[in-house]
Structure 1
Amino acid sequence: MAELIVRRRAGVLQDMARDYIVLVDGNERGRVADGQEIRLHVEPGRHRVQLKIDWCGSPAVDVDVAEGSAQVLDCGPNATLLTLLFYVFFRAGHYLALQPGARGAGRPLSA
Structure 2
Amino acid sequence: MAAKLILTRKGSVVNRRQRFKVLIDGVEAGQIKNDDTEEFTVEPGEHTLQCILGWMTSPVETFTVSDSANTYRSVSSGLTFIVPLYFMMLVGVLLPFYFRFAKLPEPDYINTLKIVLILPAILYYVFYISFFRKKYLVIGEDKSNPFK
Report if TM-score (shorter chain) is over 0.5: yes
Name the larger-Rg structure. Answer: 2
Identity of aligned residues (%): 24
Q: Any stretches of 5+ residues in structure 1 without a counterpart?
A: 107-111
* Structure 2 SS opposite 1:15: coil
Return the TM-score normalized by structure 2.
Answer: 0.67
Q: For each residue in 1:59-105, what CA deviation from the matched residue of structure 2 results, as whole angstroms up to 9, or x when unmatched?
A: 01101011111101111001243332211011100000001123643
Q: Indicate the residue corresponding to 2:6 in structure 1.
A: 5
Computed over aligned residues only, the root mean square deviation of the Cα atoms, in angstroms, reads 1.4
How far apart are the structure 1 equivalents of 2:33 and 2:78?
A: 16
Q: Distance in 2 between the 1:43 and 1:84 partners?
A: 38
Shift in Å at residue 47 of structure 1?
A: 0.3
Higher share of residues assigned helix: 2
Q: Report Cα offsets for 1:9-32 as digits up to 9, x if no partner.
A: 11x112100011000000000101
Residue of structure 2 in register with 1:60 after alignment: 60
Q: 2: CA distance between counterparts of 1:73 and 1:49?
A: 10
In the TM superposition, 1:25-64 aligns within 5 A as 25-64=25-64
Give ranges in structure 2 of 5+ residues lacking alignment. Answer: 83-120
> Which one has the bigger strand percentage?
1
Q: Matches of 1:84 and 1:13 in 2, distance apart? A: 14
Distance, in Å, in 1 between the alignment partners of 2:64 and 2:70 is 10
